[in-house]
Amino acid sequence: MRSKFVALLMGCVLTVSLLTGCGNGEADETSTPDAGESAENTGTGADGDESGDGAASAASDLKIAIVCDESGQNDNGYNQSAVEGAKECADTMGAEYKVVEPTESIGNTLSILAEDGFNLIFSMAYDFDALVNGEAGAAPIAEQYPDTVFVVFNATPNVDEAGAAIHNNVISVLYNVNESSYLAGALSVLVNENADVLLGDGYDLTSPEEARALGFIGATDSDGITVFGVGFVEGAQHVAEELGVTYDYYSKYDAGFADTAGGSNVAGTYYGNGANVVYTVAGSVGDGVASKAKEVKKLAVHVDANKDAQQPGYILTSVTKNTKVVVKTLAEAYAGGTIMDMDKIQVYDLASGATSVTDLATFSAALETTDEAKAKWDEILAYVADLEAKIGDGTIKVTNKQNGDSFDEASCPNINFK
């Protein structure tokens, strides 16, 4: 998945679109080179002369738009990472970019952007009907703008019943977050079972003799969210079965993406029920969960970006879903003229580096400094690394709800689904 990005030189002028502003009251963010910017953004070579680079000429129309979901561009994760990718494309390739936090329907937003000439549009929201199927009697947006490439995430809405792509200009991006969530679930049980050795007075965890429980909070009951929860619970099942223990599992799949206080309240309930770790896949809702974890001295698992330092020592790990990698990869493909030839479903796995758990350095710094704690932590790290290797070579198969895999709760006999 990883590739070297070509340095492309171009000049571009932004036409102000009809789209309006961000939830924070600011205008939509755009990048338009002006006379004072670097050579890379003005279409000239490093010495100030015209480059004459054929690749730069071929990419001279590249205009990238990022359409955020309701978490917004400053979510320190899924949306922000995509914006950073667009900014890097502006810096290294001379691309023009625009960031939109929609104040109207996603369909209208996509239409206006396409009409304004944005030809590579990343839609971060879980809203695909107008794009793929059309709404209110209108033709699908993808059909109306066949020269615009639309990129959607965490679902495959552009596939017919026979499994064929409906529109050639819609690309679905999937992350094998089932795999990284599996590692997070296994790690959660391992830490919970060894907390008395690993963690000191800064924590108030429920003893396994009193209760064993985990929590999961998802934004929506969709395959793009349940894929995290199923992977997480299967990882927990793997370790619980080996240890001969049983865990209660509390879950919620309608938390939305923005209700930070609501996330804190739900997490508080789960912690009160004996859960020592709560995993949240719900945008800014996870920030409320992380704050609650620190307040009650328990643990959280965050998502999208490395947010371990948000509440140091109380975020066990973050399951990363790096949208920057995707934006840069597809921008390169567009500039190189190959994007229409790509598979319409692009999958990023553990090996791609676009999804993983964090290196755990922040949590490691909060552990007890005893020899016993160090030895146990090294053992846990080695165990998780072995799981990752087994997932990579196919020894361990993790259910992938995004691909239509079915999940039967009976396959996790060491988990009590609440």
- pLDDT, tens only, 56-97: 434 458 999 999 988 889 887 789 999 999 999 999 999 999
Model confidence pLDDT, tens digit, residues 246-262: 999 999 999 999 899 99
SS3 273: coil
Split at pLDDT 50, 70, 90, the class of 223 is confident
Range 189-212 average pLDDT: 97
Report which of residues 415 and 325 the model is more confident about: 415
Range 367-371 average pLDDT: 97
Burial degree of 67 (CB within 10 A; 0-12, 13-18, 19+): buried
Report which of residues 59 and 320 the model is more confident about: 320
What pLDDT shows up at residue 321?
A: 86
Contacts of 96 (CB under 8 A, 6+ apart): 12, 14, 30, 31, 32, 62, 63, 64, 90
Range 138-145 average pLDDT: 97
Q: Is the pLDDT of residue 31 over 70?
A: no
Which of 31-40, 152-161, 192-201, 227-236 has the lowest average pLDDT? 31-40
DSSP-derived secondary structure letter, 307: -
Q: Is the pLDDT of residue 49 over 70?
A: no
What pLDDT shows up at residue 311?
A: 97
What pLDDT shows up at residue 402?
A: 82
Q: Parallel, antiparallel, or unpaired for β 170-175 and 213-218?
A: unpaired
Four-CA torsion 413, 182, 222, 155, nearest 10 degrees: -140
Split at pLDDT 50, 70, 90, the class of 287 is very high
Q: Is the pLDDT of residue 368 over 70?
A: yes
Strand partners, 218: 281
Q: Is the pLDDT of residue 20 over 60?
A: no
Q: Is the pLDDT of residue 53 over 50?
A: no
